[in-house]
């Protein structure tokens, strides 16, 4: 399968099954397109007809000669022999086996607090309670969760724990003691814990900053961008916006963090489809590692994204790509999470087929110690898989998630982005279609646009077009 597109002056050809990426000129682009059309009809390409069409289209160009077209076709043949163009899908028959490779646990989303000091309207956790009672995880439960993770992690060395909520800073002592406890297990069990903290920022103080910057591999800081956008939905219980209170705290934490990883993480809704303005605002505030996500909510909500929003969302992603490239050329790079694509050092085929690992190697743990496939299923009792004292008692749910790979969805078979998204998010699929193996088309459309932009940036980078001097030479 081939995906071709033109963006920002680059003609890009993706060979889906091998992961190969080619940047071609107009002539090669058209020849490959004609070859694809023939293959789509199950016919060998008529090379004489292809040559005639190309010569007719480029009749005004001296460099497009019959010999030149023959050479380009020979180049295409060579790439096909190298399995970098028109490569076959050899993964589907073994998709289940590939996913079986590792099903031990390696990551927890630890819900240390089902309560929150903000009252954000769009929160999928419903003010942190996940449609249940307010609750705080005890240290005993947190330690048992760590013990269960270690005991069920097989030969995994790297284990991950994200402190999540609700608002995890509302149970800060347990967070600190859990980290300290986990560290005591590392040497004897040959494990390495990587901790993440996701916070709304209200509870940040100097002590939180010091501990976080010492112990947390990554920090996710919730900020929606412009003050009026942020304050419209991210409010205190009394209705006040939270922007003025949290921004200075985030700035202080990030400044003290040095080179360690963090993300300013926003949500865009129907109210701010012009979300690049929010990313620009984040950069104005001095942040250089950014992420902004489409809101996850019922389509009935007034801030829900609509089908009519999509063209503008696509446009915004292109604006964003251009802005990031300009920043790179100016020597002031900004990282945008979804454009952070490593073509050479990206995920292997096992990871690409099996996806995020929810329900198999990644679980959410509630304050009571119950296990759910991921944080977005917490509160939906039909997805309760067991608990940290008795382990997984609903093997049927685990089996369902195990089969939730990229080839479990009919629609994914024809999608060029399937080995980038791995079939997408099971929670999004469930909330959008009622089935974890469903396809939530809206998310797919946004994902594909992001991937086109991300690949284009990587192509520009690989060609040396984003070097600071490249701009000066023009």
Q: Among residue numbers 371 through 390, which ones bind other proteins (CB under 8 A)?
A: 374-376
What is the DSSP track for 62-78?
TT--HHHHHHHHHHHHH
361 part of the interface to other proteins, by CB under 8 A: yes
Does the protein bind other proteins through residue 291 (CB under 8 A)?
yes
Q: Is 212 in a helix, a strand, or coil?
A: helix
* Interface segment toward other proteins; rule CB under 8 A; list 274-282, 300-308, 337-345, 392-400: 337-345
Q: Interface residues for other proteins in 221-260 (CB under 8 A)?
A: none
Question: Residues 434 to 453: which contact other proteins by CB under 8 A?
Answer: 443, 446-447, 451
How many Cα atoms occupy the beta-carbon half-sphere of 139 within 13 Å? 11
Rounded to whole angstroms, the Cα distance separating 460 from 443 reads 26
Nearer to other proteins by C-beta: 276 or 358?
A: 358
- Residues for the chain: how many in total? 474
Q: 143: burial class by Cβ within 10 Å (0-12, 13-18, 19+)?
A: middle
Name the nearest CA neighbour of 153 among 107, 106, 195, 186. Answer: 106
Residue closer to other proteins, measured from CB, 27 or 209:
27
Query: Considering the rule CB under 8 A, would residue 358 count as an interface residue with other proteins?
Result: yes
Q: How far apart are CA 99 and CA 353, in angstroms?
A: 7
Q: Stretches 44-52, 131-139, 155-163, 177-185: which one binds other proteins (CB under 8 A)?
A: 155-163
Q: How many angstroms separate the CA atoms of 357 and 351, rounded?
A: 9
CA distances to 144, 368, 391 from 141, rounded to whole Å, are 5, 7, 13
Please, which of residues 8-37 interact with other proteins by CB under 8 A? 17-25, 27-28
Span near other proteins by CB under 8 A; candidates 76-84, 231-239, 279-287, 304-312: 76-84
Question: How many chain residues are in contact with other proteins, going by CB under 8 A?
Answer: 87
Q: 113 to 142, contacts with other proteins by CB under 8 A?
A: 124
The nearer residue to other proteins, 207 or 301, going by C-beta atoms, is 301
Q: How far is the CB of 232 from other proteins (least distance, A)?
A: 19
Residue among 350, 381, 411, 441 that touches other proteins (CB under 8 A) = 350
Instruction: Decide: is 273 part of the binding site for other proteins (CB under 8 A).
Output: no
Instruction: Compute CA distances 159 → 107, 140, 209, 283, 390, whole Å.
Output: 6, 20, 23, 32, 20
Q: Toward other proteins, which CB reaches closer, 350 or 389?
A: 350
Q: Which listed range, 237-245, 276-284, 346-354, 383-391, lies at the site for other proteins (CB under 8 A)?
A: 346-354
Contact partners, residue 82, CB within 8 Å, separation at least 6: none
Whether the Cβ atoms of residue 53 and residue 37 lie closer than 8 Å to each other: no
55 belongs to the binding site for other proteins (CB under 8 A)? no
Distance CA 429, CA 368 (A): 26
391 touches other proteins (CB under 8 A): no
Q: Is 337 a residue that touches other proteins (CB under 8 A)? A: yes
Residue closer to other proteins by CB (options 146, 419) is: 419
Instruction: State yes or no: residue 265 binds other proteins (CB under 8 A).
Output: yes
Q: Candidates 38, 39, 55, 75: give the one binding other proteins (CB under 8 A).
A: 75
Contact predicate 267/295, CB 8 Å: yes
Q: Which helix (H) or strand (E) holds 28?
A: helix 26-40
344 binds other proteins per the rule CB under 8 A: yes
Least gap, CB of 124 to other proteins (angstroms): 8
CB of 267 to other proteins, least distance (A): 8
Q: What is the largest CA-CA distance in the chain?
A: 77
Element (H, E) at 349: helix 349-354
Q: Where are the beta strands (DSSP E) in 44-165?
A: 107-114, 135-136, 158-165
Phi (first) and psi of residue 20, to 5 degrees: -70, 145
Nearer to other proteins, 156 or 230 (CB): 156
Instruction: Tell the smallest beta-carbon distance from residue 12 to other proteins (Å).
Output: 9
- Residue 151 lies near other proteins (rule: CB under 8 A): no
The rounded distance, in Å, linking the Cα atoms of 69 and 77 is 12
Among 238, 342, 396, 414, binds other proteins (CB under 8 A): 342
> In the window 78-107, what residues touch other proteins (CB under 8 A)?
78-79, 83-84, 90, 98, 101-102, 104, 106-107
- Residues 107 and 371: their CA atoms lie apart, in Å, by 12
Please state the closest distance from residue 76 (CB atom) to other proteins, in A: 7
């Amino acid at each position: 399968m081939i995906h071709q597109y033109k963006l920002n002056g680059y003609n890009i050809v993706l060979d889906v099954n091998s992961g190969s990426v080619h940047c071609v000129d107009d002539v090669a682009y058209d020849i490959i397109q004609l070859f694809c059309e023939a293959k789509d009809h199950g016919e060998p390409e008529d090379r004489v007809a292809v040559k005639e069409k190309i010569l007719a289209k480029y009749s005004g160009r001296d460099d497009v000669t019959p010999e030149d077209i023959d050479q380009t076709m020979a180049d295409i043949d060579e790439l096909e022999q190298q399995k970098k163009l028109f490569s076959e899908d050899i993964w589907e028959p073994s998709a289940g086996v590939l996913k079986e490779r590792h099903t031990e646990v390696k990551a927890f989303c630890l819900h240390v607090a089902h309560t929150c000091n903000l009252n954000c309207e769009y929160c999928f956790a419903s003010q942190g309670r996940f449609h249940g009672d307010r609750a705080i995880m005890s240290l005993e439960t947190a330690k048992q969760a760590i013990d269960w993770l270690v005991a069920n992690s097989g030969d995994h060395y790297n284990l991950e724990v994200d402190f999540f909520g609700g608002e995890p800073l509302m149970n800060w002592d347990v967070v600190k003691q859990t980290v300290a406890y986990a560290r005591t297990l590392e040497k004897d069990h040959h494990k390495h814990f990587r901790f993440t903290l996701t916070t709304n920022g209200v509870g940040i103080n100097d002590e939180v900053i010091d501990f976080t910057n010492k112990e947390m591999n990554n920090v996710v800081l919730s900020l929606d961008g412009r003050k009026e956008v942020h304050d419209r939905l991210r409010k205190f219980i009394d209705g006040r916006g939270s922007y003025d209170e949290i921004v200075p705290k985030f700035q202080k934490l990030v400044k003290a963090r040095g080179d360690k990883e963090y993300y300013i993480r926003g949500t865009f809704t129907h109210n701010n489809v012009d979300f690049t303005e929010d990313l620009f605002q984040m950069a104005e505030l001095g942040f250089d590692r950014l992420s902004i996500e489409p809101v996850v909510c019922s389509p009935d909500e007034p801030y829900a994204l609509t089908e009519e929003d999509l063209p503008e969302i696509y446009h915004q992603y292109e604006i964003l790509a251009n802005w990031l490239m300009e920043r790179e050329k100016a020597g002031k790079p900004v990282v945008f999470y979804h454009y952070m694509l490593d073509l050479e050092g990206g995920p292997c085929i096992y990871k690409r087929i099996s996806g995020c690992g929810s329900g198999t190697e990644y679980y959410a743990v509630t304050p009571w110690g119950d296990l759910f496939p991921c944080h977005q299923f917490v509160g939906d009792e039909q997805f309760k898989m067991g608990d940290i004292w008795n382990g997984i008692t609903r093997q049927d749910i685990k089996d369902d998630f195990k089969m939730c790979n990229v080839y479990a969805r009919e629609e994914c078979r024809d999608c060029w982005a399937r080995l980038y998204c791995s079939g997408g998010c099971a929670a999004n699929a469930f909330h959008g279609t009622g089935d974890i193996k469903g396809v939530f088309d809206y998310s797919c459309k946004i994902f594909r646009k992001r991937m086109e932009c991300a690949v284009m940036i990587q192509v520009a980078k690989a060609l040396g077009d984003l070097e600071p001097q490249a701009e000066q030479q023009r």
